Amino acid sequence: MTVQTADNPGARVSEGRVGVLLVNLGTPQAPTRPAVRDYLAEFLSDRRIVDYPRAIWLPVLYGIILNTRPAKTARAYAKIWRNDTGESPLRYYTRRQAERLGGKLGGTVVVDWAMRYGSPSIAERINAMNAAGVTRILIVALYPQYSSTTTASVNDAVFDAVKGMRLQPTLRFTPPFAAEPAYIDALAASARLALAGMREPPECVILSFHGLPERLTAAGDPYASECRMTAERLRAAMGWSERFAPLAYQSKFGPEPWLGPATDDLIAASAQNGVKRIAVITPGFVADCIETLEEIAIAGKEGFMGAGGSQFAAIPCLNDSDEMIRLLETLVRRELKGWID
């Protein structure tokens, strides 16, 4: 049947077609100051990310941050940019995850991907699915641990994308997967492979998660508890003690107190205490990005080696590995029950 919609007049809608939309955080379109400025303007304007009163925050954002931060961030992106495909690692791996998952699910399910900030946007890809006749969509937020700053922000953008549609798709959302056995197994397999490649075993493995202001946890955000849950499950799978594999938080932004200890402080303290060999794994990220590749693999290594360390390993994220695709397939098939066989 043909259904007229405000967004796509005359689109042909096939009864019962199912879609899966993978969503990750976002990325600038190029490692340049203008592209990074556009990206940061969208990212830091989200009330889920920065919830200060607009009258206070927007003058700071547009008067200071967007005039000073983009150049530095663009230089960081330039260090990790994929010149072979002309895109950031996060964009590359999210696209590859969607492509490989689509191959596993077959042609009956439309698998696509989007970014919460930047391009392709959630609204753009949902409209494309609508035009392709998709009437039921499973949203997969690629954040293992729930936070109002990440998962909830994706949900907000999905609702914003469909609220103006005359014919809205039926929506489902995968839950966070902080303790999902397939996720822990995938992390453990990745860690074993990376550690086997070290010249000597590490004396310490830091479990580094993205940080969050402490007040959000006090207000009820479960992110910190879900990070601890992942850390506990991963330690158990690997046979690590908490002392050998401490939890830390990275990427602090702004002056207020954030969850701690800070990853960079823990890296520096390890070297100062005579530790010569460490590894860092980032279980809050399912695809390598600026936070894992520049902040940890480059800056973290430089800090550790400069403080006296001799061996530093940044364990890769799951990316488009077989383990990651098995994890996605496990999550998606579970949530698609009743929609597909």
Q: How far apart are CA 110 and CA 112, in angstroms?
A: 7
Q: What is the three-class DSSP state of 251?
A: coil
Beta bridge partners of 277: 311
Please report the pLDDT score of residue 5 as a whole number: 33
Residue 151, amino acid: T
Does the pLDDT of residue 105 top 70, yes or no? yes
Please report the pLDDT score of residue 15 as a whole number: 61
Confirm if 142 and 113 have CB atoms less than 8 A apart: no
- The runs of H, that is alpha helices, within the chain are 33-45, 54-60, 66-80, 89-105, 122-131, 151-162, 181-196, 214-218, 223-238, 263-272, 290-292, 301-306, 322-335
- Residue 7 to residues 2, 127, 282, 305: CA-CA distances in angstroms? 14, 7, 39, 54
DSSP count for the chain of H helices, then E strands: 13, 8
Closest to 115 measured CA to CA, from 145, 172, 157: 157
CATH match of 181-314 with 2.40.50.840:
no
Does the pLDDT of residue 185 top 50, yes or no? yes
Q: How far is CA 181 from the centre of its chain?
A: 19
Confirm if 339 and 18 have CB atoms less than 8 A apart: yes
Among 12-16, 26-30, 33-37, 92-96, the least confident range: 12-16
8: confidence class by pLDDT, cuts 50, 70, 90: very low
Q: How far apart are CA 93 and CA 110, in angstroms?
A: 18
**Per-chain mean pLDDT for the chain:** 94
Residue 134, amino acid: V
Token digits of residue 174: 């995968």
Please report the pLDDT score of residue 108 as a whole number: 85
Number of neighbouring beta carbons within 10 Å of residue 238: 18
Confirm if 112 and 128 have CB atoms less than 8 A apart: yes
Q: How far apart are CA 228 and CA 247, in angstroms?
A: 8
Q: How far apart are CA 102 and CA 248, in angstroms?
A: 35
Task: Report pLDDT digits (tens) over 40-75.
Answer: 999 999 999 999 999 999 999 999 999 999 999 999
Please report the pLDDT score of residue 40 as a whole number: 98
Closest to 173 measured CA to CA, from 9, 15, 305, 22: 22
Does the pLDDT of residue 188 top 60, yes or no? yes
Q: How far apart are CA 140 and CA 171, in angstroms?
A: 11
Domain(s) labelled CATH 3.40.50.1400 in the chain stretch across 17-177+323-335, 181-314
Torsion sign (Cα): 41, 46, 51, 52: positive
Task: Report pLDDT digits (tens) over 190-210.
Answer: 999 999 999 999 999 999 999
Q: How far apart are CA 217 and CA 228, in angstroms?
A: 13
The CATH architecture that domain 17-177+323-335 belongs to is 3-Layer(aba) Sandwich (3.40)
